[in-house]
Structure 1
Amino acid sequence: MVDFPYPAPILASKIWNCVKEWDFESKVLSVTLDNTSVNDACIPFLLSNVKEKNALIFEGKFLHVRCASHVLNLIVQDGLGVIGKIIYNVRTSVRYVGFYNATNVVSRVKYPISNMYFHEMFRVKLLLDEVISNTHDFIRSMIIRMQLKFNKY
């Protein structure tokens, strides 16, 4: 066990000791680590130890493999950055839509009376009519679909 915070040489040494203890010295194909500076600093130490055993394939080019979930997270974050403005606009629009209150009034009461129901449905209709004039095509198309559903039922 290595106590946190740990310097890279100590962590690398601990990893290599485990590799030796398990008799994996000549069997190391790759090391998967997340993207931290300490982990990145461990790689040269591990690389030099594996080189001593002549156990490297492809000259160690694939020794350090990034954690797939971390890479996927970075890709998703990049994608969200591209559509960040759209997400912001949706969140801003949702703030003005009181569907939660309408749902709460209609579904929380065991027997909603008609004046409660119609009042909340009317508020939903007014909100949909109000936000349809939004200048963003994405939001406008979403509201149109919502209005079609509303009108259907």
Structure 2
Amino acid sequence: MAVTAHYIDSQWKLQKRVLSFLHLPPPHTATEIVDTFYKALCEWGVEDKVFTISIDNASNNDRAMKPLKDSFRVKKKLFFGGRLFHVRCCAHILNLMVKDGIKSVENIINKIRDTVSFVNASEARLVRFSEVVQQLQLPTKKLVMDCPTRWNSTYPMLTVALRLREAFFSYNEREVAYVACPTEEE
């Protein structure tokens, strides 16, 4: 578990600090999460200065918020009646939304990945593909591979693939082993 603090200093500048990297052994129960988190707050002496907590949307994290919020309520350290105490991590929400959207074009993305892997698998294929790109006078020559676990790397791969789409069709006509060519519609 990583515990970070964001606060406004006396000069009204936003400050960010990593307070702790904590080992949280399984099982990651709500009780273990609360105890580990609260211990970190106490070590830094900020247990009475928490305004809001932003965590990802894991179910155990959600369950941990109730006892933590109750603890702050009992100590009368809950600002705005706790309405802003638990804020869901926007990056995690965005990540879930993008991954869901990617599912609708997953087969196309897989074809592009397969194409990049196929072309880059041998020097001869790479040379032949480069020749096709050169003959078509396309602006980009090098294919880009994404990292499947990092959706933000998929965009550059697809952007380059769109620029090279004509090359895929021509390359498909010359390379019989190339079977991952996207269709015109894809």
In the TM superposition, what are the counterparts of 1:3-42 in structure 2 within 5 Å?
3-42=25-64
Bigger relative contact order, structure 1 or 2 (CA pairs below 8 A, ≥6 apart): 1
Provide the aligned length of Structure 1 versus Structure 2: 119
* Aligned-pair identity (%): 29
Considering only aligned residues, what root-mean-square deviation do their CA atoms show, in Å? Answer: 3.8
Residue by residue, what CA displacement relative to the aligned partner does 1:51-95 show, whole Å, maximum 9, x if unpaired? Answer: 122222332222222334322211210210232344356567x49
CA distance in 1, matches of 2:106, 2:172: 28
In the TM superposition, what are the counterparts of 1:3-152 in structure 2 within 5 Å?
3-88=25-110, 90=112, 94=115, 101-103=124-126, 124=171, 126-127=173-174, 136-138=184-186
* Structure with larger Rg: 1
CA distance in 2, matches of 1:2, 1:103: 47
CA distance in 1, matches of 2:119, 2:31: 56
Kindly indicate whether the alpha-carbon contact (under 8 Å) linking 2:129 and 2:171 is maintained by their aligned counterparts in 1: no
Gaps of 5+ in 1: 108-122, 139-153
Distance 1:3 1:137, change over 3 A: closer
Kindly indicate whether the alpha-carbon contact (under 8 Å) linking 1:26 and 1:54 is maintained by their aligned counterparts in 2: no
Distance 1:103 1:22, change over 3 A: closer
CA distance in 2, matches of 1:125, 1:135: 11
- DSSP 3-state at the match of 1:27: coil
Please list every run of at least 4 consecutive aligned residues from structure 1 whose deviation after the TM superposition is greater than 6 angstroms.
none
TM-score when scaled to structure 2? Answer: 0.48
User: Which of the two has greater helix per residue?
Assistant: 1
1:9 deviation in Å?
1.3
TM-score when scaled to structure 1? Answer: 0.56
